[in-house]
Amino acid sequence: MRILLTGAGGQLGGDLITALLAQGHEVIATDLRPAAAGQNGRTRWDALDVTRGDDVLTCVERIAPDRVYHLAAILSARGEQQPQLAYAVNQTGTWNVLEACRQARVPQLVFTSSIAVYGPGLPDPTPEDVALHPTTIYGATKAAGEMLCDYYCHRWGLDARGVRFPGLINAAVPGGGSSDYALFMYLDGLRRGAYDAFCRADTRIPLMYMPDAVRALIELPAAPRQHLGRSVYNIAAFSPRADEIAASVARALPGVQFTFTPDPARQAILDSWPRALDDARARADWGWRHEFDLEAMTADLLPQMRTLLGAGVDLAGH
Ligand code: AKB
């Protein structure tokens, strides 16, 4: 299958490309940024700005992919600093990608949504079909993107599907998310022996280890459409308090120091998100199961990060 990725230089791209190549797919990665060091030579890498509709259409028509993964997005914390940019990338960019898929008759689009579509005061755990009152431009544009996917499904027959991701953790430097404190506990715990988290110790949001996230992005598009009762699904793994993540890292890295100095802007975003997601629909419709809990993630991730840091790999570009 020929597969096109937008925003391939972000936190998800590297691991998704690896998994798709391992399955024998032809992958064309696109991003504003040039290819990251680890990506060179592994796959074709084109420059693409999703805010430019003509460029998106030309690219999609030229490549004629069987499936598009639309990953390009400005995340929650950065989006609040640059709302116009977030609107352009997340809203206009998603529209451009959907339109290009429609015009170029791409069979399938996979959309990456987020827990940020939710706002405060929701049931715990939170199912999909509750009123969405996102507090960030990122969440508002992701919610609109989900609705556009539904619209393109029923109006134009585009097989658009997606997941609402929890905060994701892997051996990469994330870019501008509010959930980044969790990843930095591992990264700075390892490289600095300490981390001052920008959230309260009792902060609890849904999180997921990247191998599970990548597996979801491969299993959902493979599911027979007639089994799917909706276009976009919650998927969940674990929901630890921030100090429980710190304790898990500290068990593996004795002596590491964690402190908590909440940043009001990012803390308010974190407090507006669900504490846990109800993913019963994904489990029932396409057999979704997470494999990694917090302890399994800690055991798998720290050795990987240590190896990459020891080899001098720039995790920002991994
Ligand atoms: C963010 O923190 O903005 C993202 C997300 C949870 O979608 N990681």
CA-to-CA dists, residue 178 to 67, 89, 112, 265, 295, angstroms: 29, 18, 16, 9, 22
Q: For residue range 152-192, what is the model confidence (pLDDT) as tens digits?
A: 999 999 999 999 999 999 998 877 999 999 999 999 999 99
Mutate-to-test residue for ligand 1 from 81, 168, 169, 179, highest number of ligand atoms within 8 A of CB:
179
Instruction: Tell me the two tokens of residue 312.
Output: 């001098």
Atom 4 (ligand 1) nearest CA: 177
Please state whether the peptide bond connecting residue 224 to the residue before it is cis, i.e. omega within 30 degrees of 0. no
Task: Give the burial string for 281-290 (b: 16+ CB within 10 Å, else e).
Answer: bbbebbebeb
Q: What angle do CA 3, 32, 114 make, to 5 degrees?
A: 65
CA–centroid distance, residue 179 to ligand 1 (Å): 5
Mutate-to-test residue for ligand 1 from 12, 114, 209, highest number of ligand atoms within 8 A of CB:
114
Q: For residue range 238-263, what is the model confidence (pLDDT) as tens digits?
A: 999 999 999 999 999 999 999 999 99
Atom 6 (ligand 1) nearest CA: 167
Residues assigned a catalytic role = 138
240 neighbors 198 (Cβ within 8 angstroms): no
Predicted confidence at residue 173, as pLDDT, reads: 80
Q: What is the mean pLDDT of residues 38-47?
A: 78
Range with lowest mean pLDDT among 4-13, 34-43, 201-210: 34-43
Q: How many CB atoms are located within 10 Å of the residue 231 CB? A: 21
Locate the ligand 1 atom nearest the alpha carbon of residue 166 and give its number: 6
CA–centroid distance, residue 61 to ligand 1 (Å): 31
Q: What is the mean pLDDT of residues 271-299?
A: 98
Amino acid of residue 53: G
Exposed / middle / buried, residue 215 (Cβ in 10 Å: 0-12, 13-18, 19+): middle
CA–centroid distance, residue 256 to ligand 1 (Å): 25
CA–centroid distance, residue 62 to ligand 1 (Å): 32
Atom 7 (ligand 1) nearest CA: 114
Task: Give the burial string for 185-201 (b: 16+ CB within 10 Å, else e).
Answer: bbbbbbeeeebebbbbe
Locate the ligand 1 atom nearest the alpha carbon of residue 136 and give its number: 3
CA–centroid distance, residue 175 to ligand 1 (Å): 9
User: Which of the four pLDDT bands, split at 50, 70 and 90, describes residue 52?
Assistant: very high
CA dihedral in degrees (16, 17, 20, 26; nearest 10)?
A: 150
CA dihedral for 274, 75, 318, 165, sign (positive or negative):
positive
Instruction: Tell me the two tokens of residue 185.
Output: 């506990």
CA-to-CA dists, residue 141 to 40, 56, 73, 113, 119, angstroms: 31, 19, 10, 9, 13
Beta bridge partners of 23: none
Instruction: Tell me the two tokens of residue 130.
Output: 């509750």
Locate the ligand 1 atom nearest the alpha carbon of residue 77 and give its number: 3
Does pLDDT of 40 surpass 70?
Answer: no
Residues constituting the chain: 318
First CA to last CA distance, the chain: 24
Does pLDDT of 60 surpass 50?
Answer: yes
Q: Is 126 helix (H, G, I), strand (E, B) or coil?
A: strand
CA–centroid distance, residue 104 to ligand 1 (Å): 30
Q: For residue range 79-111, what is the model confidence (pLDDT) as tens digits?
A: 999 999 999 999 999 999 999 999 999 999 999
Instruction: Tell me the two tokens of residue 48.
Output: 């693409």
Predicted confidence at residue 317, as pLDDT, reads: 46
Distance (Å, rounded) from C-alpha 142 to C-alpha 293? 26
Atom 5 (ligand 1) nearest CA: 167
User: Which of the four pLDDT bands, split at 50, 70 and 90, describes residue 39?
Assistant: low
101 neighbors 59 (Cβ within 8 angstroms): no
- E strand or H helix at 111: strand 108-114
* Ligand 1 neighbours by CB, cut-off 6 Å: 75-76, 114-116, 138, 165, 167, 177-179
Distance (Å, rounded) from C-alpha 115 to C-alpha 207? 10
Predicted confidence at residue 37, as pLDDT, reads: 47
pTM comes to 0.95
Predicted confidence at residue 196, as pLDDT, reads: 98
User: Which of the four pLDDT bands, split at 50, 70 and 90, describes residue 33?
Assistant: confident
Does pLDDT of 318 surpass 70?
Answer: no
CA–centroid distance, residue 139 to ligand 1 (Å): 9
Atom 1 (ligand 1) nearest CA: 177
Instruction: Tell me the two tokens of residue 270.
Output: 């974190």
Locate the ligand 1 atom nearest the alpha carbon of residue 168 and give its number: 8
109 neighbors 67 (Cβ within 8 angstroms): yes
Q: At what angle do helices 53-63 and 93-103 cross, to 10 degrees?
A: 40
Locate the ligand 1 atom nearest the alpha carbon of residue 180 and give its number: 2
Mean pLDDT of the chain: 95
Does pLDDT of 199 surpass 60?
Answer: yes
